[in-house]
Amino acid sequence: MNAVDDPRRAQLRRLKLYAVAMLLAMLAGFIVSHLNGERGIWAWVSAFCEAATVGALADWFAVVALFRRPLNLPIPHTAIIPRNKERIADSLAVFVRDHFLEPETLLAKLKVFDPATRLGEWLAQPQQARMLAGMARGWAVQALDLLDEAAVRRAIQSFVVEQLRQWNAAATAGELLGLLTADNRHQRVLDEGLKRVATWLDKDSVRQHASALIVRYIRKEWPTLASTVDWVKPIDEIGDSLADRLARAGLEELQDVLSQPEHPLRQDYARWLGDYMQRLREDPALAEKVNTLKQQVIDHPAVQDYVQGLWKRVHDYLRDDLSREDSVLAGYLERSLSKLGTALGEDPALRDALNQHMLAGAEKLTNRLRNGVTTHIAQTVKAWDEKKLVEQLELSVGRDLQYIRFNGTLVGGLIGLLLHAITGWLKF
């Protein structure tokens, strides 16, 4: 509302006019009674009007002195409110702090309110959980739309790349191998590998390929021997025989390794793996090689493009899901809120725990904000323009203050009549 249109302003102006009219009426009555010699009834009128005028003027001075200097005269102890604005601001701030922000009072009211029970009852209503989930979905979509995608992509790329650069790949590889070797897992890995090799060696196609390689090698390296042998027995048959024997020998060796937990090959394998893990953890040269390889991977354009595209993929997925009425994320949030409401209604321990957390949080917040709010109130009041402060206070309480002027006029007049009566009685 515009200050000019404030209805309190018209009321205050009207009451001030009434008070002035009463003062003028008392002055007129005093003058008329004096002109009539102040005899008979005019003596009583003079006593009443004289005392009423004094009372009206005294109360006018008192009311005006609260807000400004009467007649702009430098009278001491006037314009009380403007002159004491800072003290009033400090007192008001302390009053609010001690009576409205007292932690014990606030916590007592919050405890009686039992926020956990009320929250549980509210969330247990399906429409409330659905409304909250819908509001959260809308806020999330707006937040995604407001984000600067280019800035987010740069931030994510910078963060991921920096974390990868700081990552000790060699130590992590050593720890990972340590996990793989626990409980002889590395031996089971070796078994699987050997079984796959055995399956591969047992295939006819592999043996045929091996035979062809043997024949081709003999013909290339020893052509004369190949011609001589071919005259006695076809060299292809010799290649097949050698390939078959090599395959059987390999299978027998693999079977020995698989059937003997203490086979030398297993021991060599375990020893090599243990030494390599130790080197990954302690050998600076090997760690440097691993980290150099890691750096090359990080700097690869494909990896950089992938990291840059992370946010776009996440953003597109979230935007697409949250834009739908049947959003998976919103549905999950709605179900979670409903379950929370049901749990709060059925589990007293959960309610007590939540109430305790709320009370503890409220106490910390109150203690943290108490002095800040006090300072804010004091500084705000001190920063107010004195003229506007006086105007607002006068509009708020000025109407009642004008009734003090009315009462002062009437009470003064009655006192004047009483004094006139006492004087007359004493003369009698």
Which pair of structure tokens corresponds to residue 66?
């609260």
Q: What is the pLDDT along the chain (428 residues), one digit of tens a residue?
A: 445 567 888 888 888 899 899 989 999 999 999 888 888 898 899 999 999 999 889 888 888 888 888 877 788 877 787 788 888 888 888 888 777 777 777 778 777 878 888 888 888 888 888 888 888 888 888 887 776 667 777 777 777 778 777 777 777 777 777 776 766 667 777 777 778 777 776 777 766 776 676 666 666 665 665 555 554 455 566 666 666 777 677 677 777 777 877 877 778 877 777 787 777 777 788 778 888 888 888 788 887 777 777 777 887 888 888 888 888 888 888 888 888 888 888 888 888 888 888 888 888 877 777 778 888 888 887 887 777 778 777 777 778 888 888 888 899 889 888 887 888 787 66
3-state DSSP assignment of residue 125? coil
Say if residue 148 is exposed, middle or buried (CB neighbours under 10 Å; 0-12, 13-18, 19+): exposed
Q: What is the DSSP letter of 71?
A: G
pLDDT at 7: 81
Number of CB atoms found within 10 A of residue 124's CB: 19
CA torsion through residues 171, 172, 177, 180, sign: positive
**Residues 314, 307: contact at Cβ < 8 Å?**
no
Residue 94 to residues 86, 88, 108, Cα–Cα distance (Å): 12, 10, 21
Which pair of structure tokens corresponds to residue 408?
């002062």
Q: pLDDT per residue over 73-119, tens digit each?
A: 788 877 787 788 888 888 888 888 777 777 777 778 777 878 888 88
CA distance linking residue 217 with residue 234, whole number of Å = 15
Rounded CA Rg of the chain: 50
Helix axes 223-232, 204-221, angle to 10 degrees: 120
Q: How many alpha carbons fall within 13 Å on the CB side of residue 162?
A: 6
CA of residue 358 relative to chain centroid, distance:
16
pLDDT at 232: 45
Q: How many alpha carbons fall within 13 Å on the CB side of residue 333?
A: 18
- Which residue, among 301, 281, 304, 294, has the nearest Cα to 167 in the 3D structure? 294
CA distance linking residue 69 with residue 74, whole number of Å = 7
- Which single residue is written with the structure tokens 């011609």? 227
Say if residue 231 is exposed, middle or buried (CB neighbours under 10 Å; 0-12, 13-18, 19+): exposed
Which pair of structure tokens corresponds to residue 181?
């070797």
CA distance linking residue 130 with residue 152, whole number of Å = 30
Q: pLDDT per residue over 151-182, tens digit each?
A: 777 777 777 778 777 777 777 777 777 776 76
CA distance linking residue 351 with residue 104, whole number of Å = 21
pLDDT at 25: 93
Which pair of structure tokens corresponds to residue 317?
């997925």
Query: Which stretches within 84-125 are classed as H helix?
Result: 85-100, 103-113, 115-123
